Amino acid sequence: MASLDASSSAFSEATFIPPDSIFDVTRRYLADTTPNKVNLGQGTYRDADGKPWILPSVRSAKGEIAAADCGHEYLPIAGLKSFRDEAVKLAFHGTKALEENRIASCQAISGTGALLLTGLALKRASPKVKTIYITEPTWSNHQLLFESLGFAVQTIPYYKAGHFDFESYISVLSDIKADGSSAVVLHACAHNPTGCDPSREQWKAIAAVVKEKHIFPIFDAAYLGFNSGNVDEDAWAIRYFVEDLHLEAAVCLSFAKSMGLYGERIGLTSFVAGSSDLARTMQSVLENVQRATVSNPPAYGARIVAQVLGTPDIKTQWDEDLGVMSGRIRTMRERLYEELVKAKTPGSWEHIVKQSGMFAYTGLEPAQVVHLEDKWHVYMAETGRISIAGLNESNVVYFAEAVDSTVRTVK
């Protein structure tokens, strides 16, 4: 049968869209048959042997769920109530917002889905919000997601010479019009991709501007507990905004990193409102936009998280698991820095240990990244961002050697 003439196709005006850069790094890594290869691209935790790790707490929770034989019925539109209750309590315990029933919540398809529901709910409930401000650089999906929803997306300088560029950031933030037409995406901790977080004093200054300028804060909280090993430490900025400054806010949670539930796609959208009546209204809005997208979310991952958070001994084990993951990542930062210093690699590398969380912004240039892949079979984002979780004692010396050689030969 002859193929359809392209000009008469329904897709004749479509243009090819290049593959997502981060996922394409993984594709190239998997296609590489060289045994001595290193994947520092995608942000997934690996243990000391470079293997995926099922958290002991998650393993225990899965056993409890299997024994309960929960079945496969539809969840409510807002998701599993026990999961929502436990996740909200995790992020907001001890706050007046929780005590006064001022939090609306909806289970989401991981952190991406949580941001999507947030954007959809804002368009419905706050149509005057037209512009979303994101950091430059930021997680690659922020711009694509909010632009796809019809928002204008503007960037704020964030990173300079290995550090958070507070002066530039606060300057641009302060210039935003105080007319309620803007929202800002804030990384609660472990800024992706730079690993550079504001200090508490800097957070206070940022919050003051957000309040003064009537900017709606959206917290992307994908790493609570994973960053420092302590959820409350990592949620400090969220609590400061909603408890100390009494601000309304959206908080987008993900349990992909903190529980290793990458494929289960389990997240939560929450809106802190000024009153319980407004929270009730926002609950209805969230359920409406959920119905219009995925209708209702998947159950298995939600049951795992609810079991972990709601069972005291399993929750204690999870706290220990967080310490294991965050501790190993800090150790790998230190080991990489030590090897680069030992080799007298040109340049300063202190930012590797000053940054935190899963990712590090190395400062490597695109040509050097290409060289690392072609010659050394080391795979990373073209920006020079690496996933520290991909390093271990078996490859950290090799990676440091590769970086040292590349920096010296590729200017």
Residue numbers annotated as active site: 139, 220, 257
Cβ pair 221, 72 in contact under 8 A: no
Tell me if the bond preceding 298 is cis, omega within 30° of 0.
no
C-alpha angle 286-131-178 in degrees, rounded to nearest 5: 105
For 51, phi and psi rounded to 5 degrees?
Answer: -105, 150
H-type alpha helices, 126-255: 141-148, 166-174, 200-212, 231-234, 236-239
H or E segment and range at residue 368: helix 366-376
CA-to-CA distance for 163 and 356, rounded, in angstroms? 11
Phi, then psi, of 346 in degrees rounded to 5: -55, 140
Which pair of structure tokens corresponds to residue 47?
């243990």
Q: Chain-centre distance of CA 381, in angstroms?
A: 16
Structure tokens at 298: 């998947």
The Cα–Cα gap between 342 and 334 comes to: 12
Tokens linked to 233: 């430490």
For 280, residues 6+ apart whose C-beta sits below 8 A from its C-beta are 104
Q: In a 3-state reduction of DSSP, which class is residue 280?
A: helix
Q: Note whether 155 and 135 are within 8 A (CB).
A: yes
DSSP state of 3: P
Task: Give the bridge partners for 133, in sequence order.
Answer: 154, 184
Note if the bond before 137 is cis, omega within 30 degrees: yes
**For residue 141, what are its two tokens?**
């999906």
